[in-house]
């Protein structure tokens, strides 16, 4: 159980919001908007995770370095660099479908 700003007791499962330190029950419109945002957040999670992984991999090898290696020929690079290059290419190929509106 939880209490609203006017000391009304409601079930813990009732969706609420806090405004200026006071707790209110969400209106139908607010609940709908909240559900839409949650749904969108869940749908875009694979893309966000992939973007995070790409950003982390950019610390090791930026896109510019990838392009230089591709231009010079990956076969002309040392084996460790070839491995990192291939890891980056493989990660790039795993990009999920875009979940744009």
Residues 6+ apart with CB under 8 A from 91: 50, 53, 54, 57
For 31-90, the pLDDT digits (tens) are: 999 899 999 889 899 999 999 999 999 999 999 999 999 999 999 999 999 999 999 999
DSSP string, 21-42: TEEEEPPHHHHHHHHHHHHHHH
Residue 7: pLDDT band with limits 50, 70, 90 = very high
Helices (H) and strands (E) in the chain, counts: 3, 4
Say what the pTM is: 0.62
Residue 32 CA to residue 92 CA, distance in Å, equals 35
pLDDT bracket for residue 101 (50, 70, 90): very low
């Amino acid at each position: 159980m939880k209490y609203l700003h006017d000391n009304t007791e409601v079930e813990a499962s009732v969706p609420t919001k806090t405004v200026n330190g006071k707790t209110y029950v969400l209106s139908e419109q607010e609940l709908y908007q909240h559900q839409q945002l949650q749904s969108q957040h869940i749908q875009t999670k694979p893309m966000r995770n992939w973007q995070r992984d790409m950003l982390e991999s950019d610390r090791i090898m930026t896109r510019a370095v990838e392009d230089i290696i591709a231009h010079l020929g990956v076969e002309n690079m040392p084996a460790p660099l070839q491995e990192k290059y291939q890891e980056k290419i493989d990660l790039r190929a795993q990009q999920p479908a875009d979940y744009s509106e």
